[in-house]
Structure 1
Amino acid sequence: MSENGKVVYVHDHSEAVLNSHRQRTAESSAAYLLPYIRHDMRILDIGCGPGTITIGLAQRVPQGEVIGVENLPEILEQARSIAAAEGVTNVKFELADLKALPYPDDSFDIVHSHQVLQHVDDPVSAFKEMRRVTKPGGYIATRETDFETMTWFPEVPGMRAAHDMYKKLAASRGCTPNAGRELKSWAIKAGFPAVNVACTAGTWCYSTPAVIQNFGSTWAERITGSSLGKGAIAGGFATQEELEDMAKAWREWSTKEDAWYGILHGEIVARK
């Protein structure tokens, strides 16, 4: 049994994964949160990755501060480099563990996470820890995909197998691939009154040739060149040959003129 709050990341931080993460911005990934932000807030961004969302949040609090946290130091160095290149000085990046955040109670106006809780083995405990470091009257904001709702066209043989493989692997490690639909429930179990939990749903849509090409090639690389594929083989969810077929399907799909992919996300802003 893993410890409560432990992050069980099915992917890794290979270049294929980080390439995808660097495309995320505050506008594309946290639009539901932006109306709550004031210029002088102190914000904690959990699981910040390369920091592109974190930096966007910092640009909205010129009299405030944003701290991005991750559990791998090499990713933080990349985030610091991006912030320096963009001239954003009211942001810093620190090493931290979600199950025991190194901050006092009531430290932040907003505690934010994006696509993190689906990878936590006990998301309710994670919510409680996020709630602990949030100021009274402050907000926890989180956005998670709902894997079951992902849809695409055309249906290239092999893509469905890749989708099913990921769900099985993630579930076997205690993750929640359909986390988006459970966010409200987790927040209530963590102590938030239902009336204090504002729920929305957001989408990503991939349809232009350049975006489709990048998305498809990135997933092909993840399947064969990251810990995702290695985990699938180790867990008995795919053979190397089957992984190669899945990657081939993703690449073939990305060349289709009519290719389209849609992703639904659950979003909540919970007021403490």
Structure 2
Amino acid sequence: MTSSTARERYTLGHHPSVLRTHSWRTAENSAAHLLPHLHAGLRVLDLGSGPGTITLDLARLVAPGSVIGVDASDEVTADARARAAAAGIGNVSFTVGDAYALDLPDDSVDVAHVHQLLQHVADPVAVIRELRRVVRPGGVIALREIVYGGAVWYPLSPGLSRWMEVYQELARANGGEPNAGSRLKSWAMEAGVADIRSSASVWSFETPEDREWWGGAWSERARTSSFATQALETGIADDADLALISTAWRDWVGADDGWFAVPHGEIIATVR
């Protein structure tokens, strides 16, 4: 383990408020840039598969091909296996693994997909190099990451401004890069990937249901998740800050004119 990866820590943790939002993700709303490159019979790696909702969609799209989901969490991986069993999807498997040292042979998958993982790792270039190792020549690496610093919202409030300050500082203290989406192209180039197509897409939330889903989760995270405990442990925020942030999110949820959007960077890279 290098000195950079030794200080790596997952900012969001696996609190129910986190898993609830992660389970909203689908191939359609979170991997649209990859979909044109999928077809039946492919072997796909989904690295950082979490609760498996995107992974299962990928499995449906490439059947009778196969998908392997890899995540660092035993608990989340067990949940993903249960989700696959309940859905009756048999061409998918889930395993606990290390993004820096995948238990896969060289040139063994057609597609490697990563969504919202590289923002949390201390050496994203090393992870992309590992993806390049396991993807066969002519295969595809698909990455998508958020750009937290590009988020915009209305109504404005000191609490949401403080949320952004705390999140940016805490993510970097944990060894990550909260604006990873803007760095994907440069990281892939540094990793030796040459054939890169970059794009961007946006998550936006404005209906009462969407505001409750996004803002309600963040209101809860600000008080009870790893985000809260780590912010307190590091001194990046205090109880008053977290109360302000939590209340601001709850107020935003209740605002009829509430609106939030956050951009994502994406790349599709062909391995040569």
TM-score (norm 1): 0.96
SS in structure 1 at match of 2:203:
strand
> Residues 153-168 of structure 1 correspond to what in structure 2 (within 5 A)?
153-168=154-169
The residue type equivalent to 1:126 in the other structure is V
> Residues 177-216 of structure 1 correspond to what in structure 2 (within 5 A)?
177-193=178-194, 196-216=195-215
CA 5–85 in structure 1, closer or farther in 2 if over 3 Å, else same: farther
Indicate whether 1:270 and 2:269 are aligned. Answer: yes
Query: 1:133 Cα deviation (Å)?
Result: 0.6
Equivalent residues of 1:4, 1:99 under 8 A apart: no
For residues 4 and 162 of structure 2, what CA distance do their matches in structure 1 show?
Answer: 31
Query: Residue 245 of structure 1 aligns with which residue?
Result: 244
The residue type equivalent to 2:232 in the other structure is I
Query: Residue 21 of structure 2 aligns with which residue?
Result: 20
CA 18–265 in structure 1, closer or farther in 2 if over 3 Å, else same: same
The residue type equivalent to 1:234 in the other structure is E
Which aligned segments of 4 or more residues in structure 1 are displaced greater than 3 angstroms?
A: 1-7
Query: 1:4 Cα deviation (Å)?
Result: 4.5
Equivalent residues of 1:106, 1:133 under 8 A apart: yes
The residue type equivalent to 1:62 in the other structure is A
SS in structure 1 at match of 2:212:
helix
Equivalent residues of 2:112, 2:140 under 8 A apart: yes
For residues 5 and 82 of structure 1, what CA distance do their matches in structure 2 show?
Answer: 32
SS in structure 2 at match of 1:63:
coil
For residues 50 and 2 of structure 1, what CA distance do their matches in structure 2 show?
Answer: 29
Equivalent residues of 2:8, 2:174 under 8 A apart: no
SS in structure 2 at match of 1:59:
helix
Equivalent residues of 2:200, 2:264 under 8 A apart: yes
Query: 1:62 Cα deviation (Å)?
Result: 1.1
Query: Residue 124 of structure 1 aligns with which residue?
Result: 125
| Number of aligned residues | 270
Task: Give the alignment's Cα RMSD to 1 decimal.
Answer: 1.3
For residues 137 and 48 of structure 1, what CA distance do their matches in structure 2 show?
Answer: 23
Query: 1:29 Cα deviation (Å)?
Result: 0.2
Equivalent residues of 2:101, 2:130 under 8 A apart: yes
> Residues 46-61 of structure 1 correspond to what in structure 2 (within 5 A)?
46-61=47-62
Query: Residue 62 of structure 1 aligns with which residue?
Result: 63
Q: What runs of 5+ residues in structure 1 fail to find an aligned partner? A: none
SS in structure 2 at match of 1:137:
strand
Query: Residue 89 of structure 1 aligns with which residue?
Result: 90
The residue type equivalent to 1:10 in the other structure is T
Query: 1:5 Cα deviation (Å)?
Result: 9.1
Q: What runs of 5+ residues in structure 2 fail to find an aligned partner? A: none
TM-score (norm 2): 0.96
Query: 1:8 Cα deviation (Å)?
Result: 2.7
Query: 1:49 Cα deviation (Å)?
Result: 0.5
> Residues 168-179 of structure 1 correspond to what in structure 2 (within 5 A)?
168-179=169-180
Deviations 1:21-78 (A, max 9, x none): 0000000000000000111000000010000000000000111000001111111111
Query: Residue 135 of structure 2 aligns with which residue?
Result: 134
Equivalent residues of 1:68, 1:94 under 8 A apart: yes
